[in-house]
Chain A
Amino acid sequence: MNKIFIAVLTLWAIPTQADNWNTSVEAGLESRWFIQDARLPNQHSGVGLSLKLQPEFRYKSDDRKTQFALVPFLRYDAEDSERTHFDLREAYWRHIGDEWEVTAGVDKVFWGVAESRHLVDIINQTDLVEDIDQEDKLGQPMVSASTQKDWGAISLYWLPYFRERTFPGADGRLRTPLPVDNDRAQYESAAGQWHQDIALRYSHYFGDWDVGASYFRGTNREARLLPDNSGEWLLPNYDQIDQLGVDLQYTWEAWLLKVEGIYQKSRIDNFFATVAGFEYTFYQVAETSTDIGVLLEYQYDGRNAAAPATLADDDVFAGMRWSLNDTQDTAVLAGVAVDRHSGEQFYNIEAETRIGQNITAELRARFLTGSEPGESAFFVERDDYIQLSLSYHL
């Protein structure tokens, strides 16, 4: 702890506070309380502590045409050694020319419109040990080029190196009955992690419509988990895929209507998946500053049993977003995804606020109920948790 504190101070002292440089540090303390005892003998129970450190160094030239970013990330977890991990979230050089914007290095890219599932979003690998909601991503090495025309924006991506998904270790919670061996990943491509992936994206808006279309060819970010010869470990198997994606949003008054769809082709399966729904916001409820948004989304996924597993095969997500619109930016998002087939229910609550000027507090709670042995999420049935984190931003 002492060392980390010193590290924070050192990093803070380095930056020259000139206009071109922008630096910040986030240091967070997180406690995760698993409510039930673990199902497997070597998994930890009770409260687990972890630390997060994320400095950010950003440079912008006077003419704003050249940018540089360096964002290392460190998570130290006292209970699960596989959750202790380091990553470069961002480390890129960018040039913004008159016609083209070029980025080289490690960056993060988000595509899509839906809230309950990010289907078309495929550039970055999911940092699964960081959070099971799949919204935390590993930095992706890339060279990308974008151009803006009157008829829309085109982006091209060359992704020369593949990032493996992070899976919890044998001591960790929220894992499969057999642990995943992160060091023995299998690849369809002989090039392994060096398979050269490519992607293409079109994005624009027409009045109230926002549209996106994308194509990806390369290593699937999702893995099939297959037992090894000993039968004691699962190995991640990464296949080559072609994926077409479309995302659409129609914005009308307080309504946001959204749909995302993908068609994915591999040696294992060809399938279609979609997530579609709406968000409607009641502004200034009962003459307060509070807004309440209501979300409803349907998730369909047509993949077969051999493909990488998903929970979102035939599910309805219903949620509520509660924004206080106060000076502390207090907001709560609560939702439940119900599997129409098995009746499994996955509850998710996220609440955040700011304390003073530099500290943020966040509460996350995740519960699974109604899962029976043999059903898709049963292995995490005893992994309900409540997580409280405090972060200091400098």
Chain B
Amino acid sequence: MTAAQIIFLITAAVILGSAFMVVTTKNLVHAALWLIVTLFGAAVLFATLNAGFIAVVQVVIYIGAIAILFIFAVMLTRRSMTDTGPGLNRGWWLSAAIALLTFGGLVWLVSGWGGFTKAAPAYPSGFDAVAALAHALVSPEAFVLPFEVASVLLLAALVGAVYIAFQRKGEE
């Protein structure tokens, strides 16, 4: 077993374990903190896949913005700091069965595909992925339109979020 495999297995164990804690912990602030661990594990995976830019962006956006937003939302929607009642539905075992079936189905589906066990091609030496990504994002032959659409979507979503959550004066 090589060093890369050991790193992958440790990271995968951390990701799956913390993801399990995210969906089962009763205390929602703890769930959000476990989500940070999961996201950090995913960032480590991206780094081992030579996608340094994606790894850092994952930390900046998910941990720096999304996880913090979650913690704020949990605190804003809770009168007391302690939780009461079970965190799961009565029919949670049905959800568990569906999730297991999905996992089995997905693995069965991709394991039938020819490229399932293929090894990574050698990373081209001297290739600057960050520069290539930047060119791909703004070049008219590549992804400039999806990129712009995504930015418009983000703007619209944020304006909508402010409008929805805004408390008008005199309301309650």
Question: A and B: partners?
Answer: no
